Amino acid sequence: MIDFIYSDSDIIVCIKPAGVLSTDEPGGMPELVREALGDPEADVRTVHRLDRVAGGLMVLARTPQAASELSRQIRQGEFQKSYLAVVHGAPRPEKGRYTDLLARSKEERKTYVAKKASKETRQAVLDYETLAGADGLSLVKIELVTGRTHQIRCQFSSRGMPLAGDRKYSTLPDDCPLALWSCSLRFRHPASGRDMSFEAPPPDAYPWNTLK
């Protein structure tokens, strides 16, 4: 079942379950949304992505025009996404910005921090704030300035603070799903231009419920 937060003739805002692909392929979010709507032919389009293993808020477009306008907002930095993550360790300072050059290995399907710029690297920027800490873990709120593949997971793990439950960027024996959650979306409605803002808390499960 897909949890709908908001729906009209242009967009759908819903919760992507962890483990579900964002893209339009078998078992992906558009297909699941069509099933929830009861219309296998419905026009449902992905305009931004979440890692398969991450969950939280997503907006999907219901018309080509809505998809085009939301994509424009994303390209021009007008579409704001916030995340919550549980990381091992404690960021210092408690609030700041991480800026890195990231390179992507297609063979490993993994992102790395690069030491120098090249045609394969892209700048990655995020702002973070530590909200709570306990038992060697920290709850961090993250505002993405850029949107690179695995950006949050790579930038924190490269500083010795892998996300709890991360099987790709951590060697720690965590017994929990990846603790990365899309908690907030802010954008303008693609048809009316009205400011839209949505928030959703992470699951009431470990490790989230130990850092409230």
Cis status of the peptide bond prior to 201, with omega within 30 of 0:
no
Helix (H, G, I), strand (E, B) or coil at 208: helix
- Scored b (16 or more CB within 10 A) or e, 2-22 reads beeeeeeebbbbbbbebebbb
The pTM score is: 0.94
The single-letter DSSP state of residue 148 is -
Tens of each residue's pLDDT in the chain, 212 residues: 899 999 999 999 999 999 999 999 999 999 999 999 999 999 999 999 999 999 999 999 999 999 999 999 999 999 999 999 999 999 999 999 999 999 999 899 999 999 999 989 999 999 999 999 999 999 999 999 998 999 999 999 999 999 999 999 999 999 999 999 999 999 999 999 999 999 999 999 999 999 97
